[in-house]
Structure 1
Amino acid sequence: MDAVSQFKQALGNYPTGVTVVTANDPQGNPIGMTVNSFASVSIDPLLILWSIDRNAYHFDAFTQAKTFNVNILAADQSDVCMLFASRVEDRFGKCEWHNGTNGVAVLKNVASQLECNVYNTVDAGDHIILIGEVTSIVNEEKEPLLYHKRLFGKIPDAFYQQS
């Protein structure tokens, strides 16, 4: 097995949460994509990051946007994940959403939602890392959608039990 295949296998064995990152294109239209390369960076200031492939469908629009939102999907939103992972033209016509306080789309029924201003971008090989300063947070009492070995799931109840 070559190094790229081993790398993909190793990272596929690392369970992650699933997000849909949204922004506006230069014409003001909402854009969004499924992202699992999301992480916290800093508490002071509140910073998060996500990365985008240079070959991504809306690469230019995302890297030119000054604001974006991170929608952390709830366990029952695998359909939303797949919608925003596809190349369907009118993704926003196929889901419920509204504009956040920053004018960028917020998906309904998500586990959490973070509104961000672009803080910095970092060149990272075939990706660009976008670092956002969080300006608004909405949390709901919902379990997150998880992704592991190309499958979706949720945290088992046993995980929450204390010994």
Structure 2
Amino acid sequence: MTTLNEQDFRRAMSHFATGVAVVTAKGSEGEQGATISALTSVSLDPLLLLICLHRGSSTYKAIAEAGRFGLSILNNSHKDVAMLFASRTADKFGSDVVVRAEDGTAFIDGALVQMHCELVETFQGGTHALFMAKPTSITVRDEAPLLYFQGQLGIEA
């Protein structure tokens, strides 16, 4: 065992393969979106999930203001989409990869899952916020997911 530090912790956590998603919300500074890998189900009764975002991100602020967000779980062909929404590019929503629900919520076209979520509670955890939310609508497609492992997007079989 080594003495625990940020670099060792980051390396250790990179060995946990996760799915990749995009969250979107509209706040006072307009529409915002971010790529996340920190997403988990919490409860089936009531239905709850948890996402984590850096508290300095514009998407964190938009979700906190709006009290709701769109969640798109990406498929294996969405590597470029994941990189776009992970960037600080101002115009993430001008692309044809974004589709809108009837209420205007932005989702990623062809995502495995498109889910409307309402914020239930927010927890602070160091540099990040944990948003607990309840899904209010879900659309699911069956395809291969986009995975994140050891700093790389997509796992080749």
> Given the two structures, how large is their TM-score scaled by the length of structure 1?
0.88
SS at match of 2:137: strand
The separation in 1 between residues aligned to 2:155 and 2:114, in whole angstroms, is 18
CA contact (8 A) 2:15 2:150 kept: yes
In the alignment, which residue of structure 2 is the partner of 1:120?
121
SS at match of 1:92: coil
Q: Structure 1: which 5+ runs fail to align?
A: 157-163
Shift of 1:154: 4.3
Pairs within 5 Å for 1:104-115: 104-115=105-116
CA contact (8 A) 2:99 2:107 kept: yes
> Given the two structures, how large is their TM-score scaled by the length of structure 2?
0.91
Shift of 1:26: 2.3
Pairs within 5 Å for 1:11-90: 11-26=13-28, 29-90=30-91
Shift of 1:114: 1.3
CA contact (8 A) 1:111 1:141 kept: yes
CA contact (8 A) 2:24 2:59 kept: no
Q: Structure 2: which 5+ runs fail to align?
A: none
In the alignment, which residue of structure 2 is the partner of 1:8?
10
Aligned residue identity for 2:80: D
The separation in 1 between residues aligned to 2:45 and 2:156, in whole angstroms, is 29
CA distance 1:2–1:42, shift in 2 (3 Å) = closer
Shift of 1:2: 5.3
Shift of 1:61: 1.8
Give the aligned CA root-mean-square deviation in angstroms.
1.7
In the alignment, which residue of structure 1 is the partner of 2:140?
139
SS at match of 1:62: helix
1:19-55 deviations in whole A, cap 9, x for unaligned?
000111226x321100001100010111111111122
The separation in 1 between residues aligned to 2:155 and 2:43, in whole angstroms, is 26
In the alignment, which residue of structure 2 is the partner of 1:100?
101
Q: What number of residue pairs does the alignment pair up?
A: 155
CA contact (8 A) 1:67 1:102 kept: no
CA contact (8 A) 1:67 1:104 kept: no
The separation in 2 between residues aligned to 1:48 and 1:122, in whole angstroms, is 13
Shift of 1:99: 2.2
CA distance 1:118–1:101, shift in 2 (3 Å) = farther
Seq. identity, %? 33
